[in-house]
Amino acid sequence: MSFAARQQEALAVWRVFDQPELRRILVGSATCGRAAGSLEVLQAFRDELAQADLEKSTALYEVGCLGMCYAEVLVEIRAQDGRRVLYQGVEPRHVAQLVEQHLVRGEIYWPLALAQMGEGTEELPAFHDLPMIKPQERIVLRNCGFIDPNNIDHYLARGGYSGTARALTMGPDAVIDEMKASGLRGRGGAGFPTGVKWGFARATPAAQKYVICNADEGDPGAFMDRSVLEGDPHAVLEGLLLAGYAIGASIGYVYCRAEYPLAIERLQTAIEQMHNLGFLGDNILGSGFNFSIKVKKGAGAFVCGEETSLMQSIEGKRGMPQSKPPFPAVSGLFGKPTNINNVETLASVSAIMEKGASWYAGFGTEKSRGTKTFALAGKINRTGLVEVPMGINLRTIIEEVGGGVSGGKAFKAVQTGGPSGGCIPARLIDLNVDYESLAEVGSIMGSGGMIVIDEESCMVDMARYFLTFTENESCGKCVPCRMGTQHLLRILTTITAGRGTLADLDSLRKIGDTMKNASLCGLGQTAANPVLTTLQYFEDEYRAHIEDHACPAGACAALIHFTIDPAKCTGCGLCARACPVEAISGEKKEPHLIDQGACICCGSCRQACKFDAVLVS
Amino acid sequence: MGSFSLIIDGQTVEVEEGATVLQAARRAGISIPTICDHKDLNPYGACRMCVVEIEGVRGYPTSCTTPAAAGMRVTTQSERLSTLRNRTLELMFSGHPNSCLVCVHREACEQHRPTATKAARSTRCGFCANREECDLRAMALSAGQPELSLPTMYAAYNLERDDPFMDRDYNLCVLCGRCWRICEKIHGKPAISIINRGKWARIGTAFNKSHVFSGCTFCGACIDICPTGTLTDRFARWQGKPEAETGSACILCPQGCAVVAQSKNQRLLAYTMPAFNRDASLCALGRFGAAQMVNSNQRTTRPQVREGEDLIPYDWDAALKAAATGLKEHAGKIAFVISATSSREERYLYAQLATALKGQMHLVPAHALPGDPTLTTIQEAIHGQGALALLMNGPLLGGVEQSRMAFSLVIDALHSDSSEQASVVLPAAMLSENSGTFRSSTGEIRQLSACSQAPGDARAEWRILRDLGQTLGLDGFSYTKVEDITRAMDNAVGEDAAPPAMTGDPRHNVRELITTYRGHQVADIVPALAAFGLPQRSMIQEESTAGSDNGFPILEKKEIVPNMHFFKIQAPQVAKFALPGQFVILMARETSERSPFTLVDWDADTGTISLVIEEVGRSSRELASLRAGDMLAHVSGPLGQAMPVEKRGTVLLGGGCYGVGAIYPLARALKQAGNRVICGIEASSSYLLYMQDELTQVSDQLILATKDGSEGVRGGVQEILVQTAEREQVDQFIAIGCTFMMRMTTELSRGLNIPTLVALNPIMVDGTGMCGACRVSIGGDTLFACIDGPLFDGHAVDWDELASRRSAYAPQEIQALSQGVDLSALMHQAHGPTDTHQCGCGR
């Protein structure tokens, strides 16, 4: 069957899915949705539909993530009027009402209604007009939450694999030129131009070459790759197929961490579908190009996100970085020329081949083209997964997309790039988010973690948190990283405990400098960044810990104590219930008291209090 | 392959394609520090010491991993580079015990230590086994005394001694990766790799299995390539750096592998592989067994001739005459049974003798075990011949065969049942003591070069045969050198036959090790081989079960810090009468040596005593390998004089190594008597300190000292003594620990006018004043430490005499480490024949 005919079949399937007359329920059931209870909601819908005898006339689908983590579980319901309404915070207890009121009677259930898909109305805004969504440009996430990820026809119907069909007629060199023209840079963190990288691997003559999709997303709090793999696996696999075609590889690997079982399942399903439809195997679409894809599960080492370690791991060895040169494009997996791209890069590749380089280059800035996804987390109102054009400023992301700092607290800093990244202070909030600007202020784009920090977060403690992570995850091979992370953590722990000295700051800088310049791989070279950037922008906070034995943010347990302001306390008892060590006592409606001897300074009471009655000093 | 040039430090260097920048620099005579680099290994880039600057290259690439390129401009020395290297070195030494670099007592200790501490351990006071040949130390000192200001962060691992031949102290490891890389290079799939992550990253086997079950072939390459004292050959480690390395071949089996024989004082330390590659690798027996066999206490050292029931030592001339007489008498009826693992020259002379005496020559293949068809064939031939005399160079035939003979001559290096039954025994040299040539089973001729001295009267076998021929008055035995025989063979018509090949390859599979050498079961001489299931006489099983029903049960046993073992033992009679300062003598088994240990604690009510035992030699290692639930054969005590407990005012107790535990009961008693008690304890590094909580409870103040400054006072008990005396009046000082510490502190306390007691630890045998081994001179009087001590007035001790008496048996003590029953092997043998270990090794 020709590709065009195949596409027609897929469109027919899509039309059934998309026909307005069909009652349809979409439940966001990626891992994030499942964590919020989407499988229970899904079951509740199944039961309810059966009971209402609607199961035959209603289509119920699991879809990927729309990125609005704060609003999970998200359910889109379309009754027979064709109107599609997005509900937030759905729990099983709401299901009967939703079915009865919306699906049967066609009336919106207002308490949970968030948006209307398509055009909005006065009382219910359009999805794309939501403040969180409006500044976004969805290229990587183009299908997430809108299609059934287990159905290749949905992907095909929305333009999928048309880029492949086009590429196969263009020839590998033209594909590489297209990539270069698009300006796409590696989204794994380093930002190396993708087309150039492909060109290197293509230029190395070899009978066997490999392409690898790096899906070993390891930064704490980052889940961009997982969402794409779960919500739109074909977008990534098509990118990998295109990369393989461009460099002349016949085997592709997806190296995905074993902690992502759903992503792995979706990948395996998608690979089987690709084989069935002739997008994998021999002579793909009659082009003479042969390609197959294997999924390799990673065992959860952070360092295996580093490309040379990742390849060692695929080879069955301990994941340990190797010195470069030789670069993977010359000698990579099993000693063969290899190209590695990350999930987001590959999902962009398939979009670029579908819509063209100039379309893609229309987004972003001159040096940083296209879009970037971020996992927005920390002290922010709307946590979630967002995709914004390069060059957007931080303020837009934090204030508009994220809805500002949660709890009305003051914005202090934003941390990008996870354990390898750095902190950007509040005064730089108008910074443009692109590779160059972030590097200029000492941080990195990284793979896309973005943690918002408010006035109650201690920068020293945050640096300590990241060092706890890297100290644990250092592979131990090279001295500066193995020993350096241990010493940084030791010193930071001393400072947060109020036992630091000013000489410690000098030690932190010296060790950090040694790690940056003498470590073997990216992990060690960047592990000191959280320390060095906080030292750069928040040295005062470090000094306060050392000289005044005080934690200005009120976060370091050894340096603070909590009291209750009797004037503000209403005696509601929330704090006493939140206290894990039963250190708070008091009569109902009377001001409560904290037993200082028993208090462990965890701050739970302060968070629980609705009247700002818990004071920290 | 083409060559090109590059510029390093302004110098133009021409190199071949494929060379690294480091290799190019070395070519130019420029030295760059590195520890993970090794000429036989691929670049690795882990230690980061060899960083350089290269024009046009970002950052500081490591020269070991960067390929040299034409026109490259490299800088190897700059302020920035030296800062980076110094800081990296500092980081490295913050995880590697560094007292060998920074200990303030280093020079004095090296001067006063009688010998290398004989201990089968590495960390005593910071002098690890590899001190004399530590690449790491050499690198650290290459740019002068390094400044180490970072606090140390030691891993404090337990020592690993549960495999047959290696001691592993991962506290000393810097993860240079040489060991696992050479393992991978030689064996393909390495038996070891880095396991765990971050600060817990270390070298280990898959799933933490014992090396015996890890696929390790015990080729020893990891030991030979380790730049620190982490991996060591249990037998060779305390013998220091080899004096000579001699190329030779190992003829324990017909493979005849080429070896480099390391020797010292005319003694073989080890056979090592001549090159780090697969073809050059050795089997466990060759690598670790050869030296133990050559140095075995089962060697035959004197010619012996039977007189009635007894074998009587003879001198060589008389013994040769007796042998010649016996042979001449049975000429024509002599069977020559000779091992195939004999040198070509030996076999040639045996053949000549056989021809002259009209005897039959039989060659026994190396792998022939009793019942082997070859042996049956030989036996039938001997019967057919009607032989009346037998000449063997090992216990190659069963005793029955020998007892049938009217005369039997055994020429052998090791004692056996056959030599016991022989008419004449002539002691031969073996392995590294011999020169000549050997034809391997593949037909190649290998050169044998002697590098060690045969024990006693033992002689090279070719000499014995030549002299025998001459005594017999035969022609053609007038050689003066072994080379003369070699030449005679080369001129003879026809080539000598190669010995029969073996079926297995022990170099790559420990399960295929040969089990016999010239008829001897090798595991009887190298007991540790039992760990691989090699057959052994029943001796071990007998011994291990002996005394299990009666004796002194061990109630508690743990290694509190590396090499320090805490024991709680049921010994009611000792507990009932014990007083502070007294000691006990332990025997692990009925055949063990008697070893004295100071009592640390006791409880008359429960009838228990507690000891801290430091592993220093074979007997303490034997004790250390026991577990809770095991029995001690004997506990004798309490012995010695108790410490006089009286109110003196302020008493300072100084403890080092085992003495940290030993001062505990003294501190308790002195405190109870109303003294102000200060305890000062020392160790080379923080993680080797122990019993702090217990000592705090029985003293007014506890002061810690470490040689590397990782905790407490930098230094040792010396510093504690001086600093305390500056602060307050000290009325009594008591020191227990190594002789060096006691001697040094005594000198200081003399200057400070502080009365001083020291617990002397001379060699002791019976502990009851009978043997006199523990004789010490105190103020000119000869006293016995066992009944007059162990506590003496430190200022009256003749320290030089004590040091010399203590070191009198150092060579024997070192040798004993590998002798007799190897308990680590026994543990696995007795408790865990397969890979399910219930032996307490934790694997």
What would the pLDDT profile of B289-346 be if each residue is shown by its tens digit? 999 899 888 899 999 999 999 999 999 999 999 999 999 999 999 999 999 999 999 9
Among residues of chain A, what percentage have pLDDT more than 70?
100
Q: Which of A23-37, A527-541, A551-565 has the lowest mean pLDDT?
A: A551-565
Among residues of chain B, what percentage have pLDDT more than 70?
92
Asked if B628 has any chain A CB less than 8 Å from its own CB, the reply is no
DSSP tag of B117: -
Residue B57 has pLDDT above 50, yes or no: yes
Span B247-275, mean pLDDT?
94
* Distance in Å, alpha carbon of A527 to nearest chain B alpha carbon: 12
* CB spacing of B46 vs A487 below 8 angstroms: no
pLDDT of residue A350: 97
* CB spacing of A511 vs B91 below 8 angstroms: yes
Distance from C-alpha of B188 to C-alpha of B181, rounded to nearest angstrom: 10
**Residue in B with minimal Cα distance to A303:** B197
pLDDT of residue B130: 61
Average pLDDT, chain A: 94
Residue B277 has pLDDT above 90, yes or no: yes
| Residue A340: strand, helix, or coil | strand
Asked if B66 has any chain A CB less than 8 Å from its own CB, the reply is yes
- Interface confidence, given as ipTM, is 0.91
Question: How distant, in Å, are the alpha carbons of A219, B91, B752 from that of A484?
Answer: 20, 7, 44
Q: Which residue has the higher pLDDT, B600 or B774?
A: B600
Q: Which of A69-73, B322-326, B532-536 has the lowest mean pLDDT?
A: B532-536
Among residues of chain B, what percentage have pLDDT more than 90?
60
* CB spacing of B153 vs A486 below 8 angstroms: yes
- Contact between B737 and B655 under an 8 Å Cβ cutoff? The reply is yes
> How does pLDDT run across A51-61, given as a tens digit for each residue?
999 988 899 99
* CB spacing of A323 vs B175 below 8 angstroms: no
Distance from C-alpha of B781 to C-alpha of A540, rounded to nearest angstrom: 71
Both ends of chain B: CA-CA distance in Å?
50
* CB spacing of B46 vs A517 below 8 angstroms: no
Count residue pairs from A and B with Cβ separation < 8 A. 106
Span B519-532, mean pLDDT?
87
DSSP tag of B67: B
| Single-letter code of the amino acid located at A530 | P
* CB spacing of A483 vs B95 below 8 angstroms: yes
Q: How many residues does chain A have?
A: 617
- DSSP per-residue codes, A3-67: HHHHHHHHHHHHHHHH-TTSEEEEEE-SHHHHHHTHHHHHHHHHHHHHHTT-TTTEEEEEE---S
**Residue in B with minimal Cα distance to A467:** B198
- For residue B765 the two structure tokens come to 């045998």
Q: Residue A318: its chain B contacts at CB < 8 A?
A: 193-195
pLDDT of residue B819: 58
- pLDDT band of A554, cuts 50, 70, 90: confident
* Distance in Å, alpha carbon of B71 to nearest chain A alpha carbon: 17
Query: Distance from CA of residue B681 to its chain's centroid?
Result: 29
Span A464-483, mean pLDDT?
96
Span A127-140, mean pLDDT?
95
Q: Which of A399-408, A606-615, B180-189 has the lowest mean pLDDT?
A: A606-615
Residue A596 has pLDDT above 80, yes or no: yes
pLDDT of residue B401: 82
pLDDT of residue B287: 96
* CB spacing of B87 vs A511 below 8 angstroms: yes
pLDDT of residue A617: 82
Q: Residue A518: its chain B contacts at CB < 8 A?
A: 48, 51, 60, 84, 87-88
Nearest in space to A360 (alpha carbons), one of A142, A133, A173, A132 = A142
pLDDT of residue B119: 42
Asked if A316 has any chain B CB less than 8 Å from its own CB, the reply is no
Nearest in space to B304 (alpha carbons), one of B404, B395, B412, B390 = B412
Among A312, A483, A515, the strongest candidate for a mutation testing the B interface, having the largest count of B CBs within 10 A, is A483
> How does pLDDT run across B432-482, given as a tens digit for each residue?
999 999 999 999 999 999 999 999 999 999 999 999 999 999 988 999 999
* CB spacing of B62 vs A323 below 8 angstroms: yes
* Distance in Å, alpha carbon of B746 to nearest chain A alpha carbon: 39
pLDDT of residue B691: 94
Nearest in space to B177 (alpha carbons), one of B267, B47, B265, B55 = B47
- pLDDT band of B541, cuts 50, 70, 90: very low
- Contact between B64 and B72 under an 8 Å Cβ cutoff? The reply is no
Span A67-73, mean pLDDT?
93
Of B87, B92, B194, the CB nearest to A318: B194
SS in 3 state form for B243-298? CEEEEEECCCCCCCCEEEEEEECCEEEEEECCCCCHHHCCCHHHHHHHHHHHCCCC
* Phi, psi angle pair for A431, to nearest 5°: -65, 140
Of B66, B88, B200, the CB nearest to A480: B88
* CB spacing of B201 vs A511 below 8 angstroms: no
Residues 70-89 of B with CB under 8 A from A: 84, 87-88
Q: Which of A243-252, B149-158, B697-706 has the lowest mean pLDDT?
A: B149-158
Residue B171 has pLDDT above 50, yes or no: yes
Query: Distance from CA of residue A43 to its chain's centroid?
Result: 27
| Residue B491: strand, helix, or coil | helix
Of A301, A471, A479, the CB nearest to B91: A479
Residues 194-213 of B with CB under 8 A from A: 194-202
pLDDT of residue B240: 73
- For residue A493 the two structure tokens come to 């722990």
- pLDDT band of B107, cuts 50, 70, 90: confident
10 Å Cβ neighbour count for A199? 20
* CB spacing of A476 vs B174 below 8 angstroms: no
* CB spacing of A472 vs B197 below 8 angstroms: yes
* CB spacing of B198 vs A473 below 8 angstroms: yes
**Residue in A with minimal Cα distance to B20:** A325
Residue A360 has pLDDT above 60, yes or no: yes
- pLDDT band of B423, cuts 50, 70, 90: very high
Write b or e for each residue in A165-197: b if 16 or more Cβ atoms lie within 10 A of its Cβ, otherwise e.
Answer: bbbbeeebeebbbbbbbbbbbbbbbebebbbeb
Q: Residue A484: its chain B contacts at CB < 8 A?
A: 91
- Contact between A440 and A462 under an 8 Å Cβ cutoff? The reply is no
Q: Which residue has the higher pLDDT, B1 or B603?
A: B603
- pLDDT band of B843, cuts 50, 70, 90: very low
Q: Residue B91: its chain A contacts at CB < 8 A?
A: 479-480, 483-484, 487, 511, 514
* CB spacing of B197 vs A475 below 8 angstroms: yes
Q: Which of A223-232, A437-446, A455-464 has the lowest mean pLDDT?
A: A437-446
Q: Residue B44: its chain A contacts at CB < 8 A?
A: 323
Q: Residue B193: its chain A contacts at CB < 8 A?
A: 317-318
Distance from C-alpha of B279 to C-alpha of B38, rounded to nearest angstrom: 19
Residue A511 has pLDDT above 80, yes or no: yes
Query: What domains can you pick out in chain A, each with its CATH number?
Result: 16-127 (3.40.30.10), 161-360 (3.40.50.11540), 371-454 (3.10.20.600), 459-547 (1.20.1440.230), 561-616 (3.30.70.20)
Distance from C-alpha of B776 to C-alpha of B783, rounded to nearest angstrom: 5
Asked if B266 has any chain A CB less than 8 Å from its own CB, the reply is no
* CB spacing of A476 vs B197 below 8 angstroms: yes
- pLDDT band of B766, cuts 50, 70, 90: confident
pLDDT of residue B549: 58
Task: Tell how strand B231-233 and strand B202-205 pair up.
Answer: unpaired
Provide CB contacts within 8 A for A50, sequence distance 6+: none
Cis peptide before A326 (omega within 30 of 0): yes
Among A479, A485, A487, the strongest candidate for a mutation testing the B interface, having the largest count of B CBs within 10 A, is A479
* Distance in Å, alpha carbon of B180 to nearest chain A alpha carbon: 12
> How does pLDDT run across B543-594, given as a tens digit for each residue?
444 444 578 999 999 888 877 899 999 999 999 999 999 999 999 888 788 8
Asked if B48 has any chain A CB less than 8 Å from its own CB, the reply is yes
pLDDT of residue B125: 59
* Phi, psi angle pair for A215, to nearest 5°: -115, 35
- pLDDT band of B113, cuts 50, 70, 90: low
Asked if A269 has any chain B CB less than 8 Å from its own CB, the reply is no
Q: Residue A507: its chain B contacts at CB < 8 A?
A: 150
Distance from C-alpha of B662 to C-alpha of B790, rounded to nearest angstrom: 12
- pLDDT band of B769, cuts 50, 70, 90: confident
Average pLDDT, chain B: 88
| Single-letter code of the amino acid located at A561 | H
Asked if A520 has any chain B CB less than 8 Å from its own CB, the reply is yes
Quick one: B762 exposed, middle or buried, by C-beta within 10 A (0-12, 13-18, 19+)?
Answer: buried
Span A208-236, mean pLDDT?
95
- pLDDT band of A565, cuts 50, 70, 90: very high
Span A457-485, mean pLDDT?
96
Residue B122 has pLDDT above 70, yes or no: no
Residue B836 has pLDDT above 60, yes or no: no
- Contact between A595 and A573 under an 8 Å Cβ cutoff? The reply is no
Nearest in space to B812 (alpha carbons), one of B760, B740, B763 = B763
pLDDT of residue A502: 96
Asked if B183 has any chain A CB less than 8 Å from its own CB, the reply is no
> How does pLDDT run across B498-517, given as a tens digit for each residue?
888 888 889 998 889 999 99
* Distance in Å, alpha carbon of B713 to nearest chain A alpha carbon: 20
Of A301, A322, A517, the CB nearest to B197: A301
Q: Which of A24-33, A90-99, A487-496, B735-744 has the lowest mean pLDDT?
A: B735-744
Residue B539 has pLDDT above 60, yes or no: no
Cis peptide before B638 (omega within 30 of 0): yes
- pLDDT band of B635, cuts 50, 70, 90: very high
Distance from C-alpha of B293 to C-alpha of B430, rounded to nearest angstrom: 9
Distance from C-alpha of B758 to C-alpha of B736, rounded to nearest angstrom: 6
Query: What domains can you pick out in chain B, each with its CATH number?
Result: 3-93 (3.10.20.740), 120-294 (3.30.70.20), 304-491 (3.40.50.740), 543-639 (2.40.30.10), 650-808 (3.40.50.80)
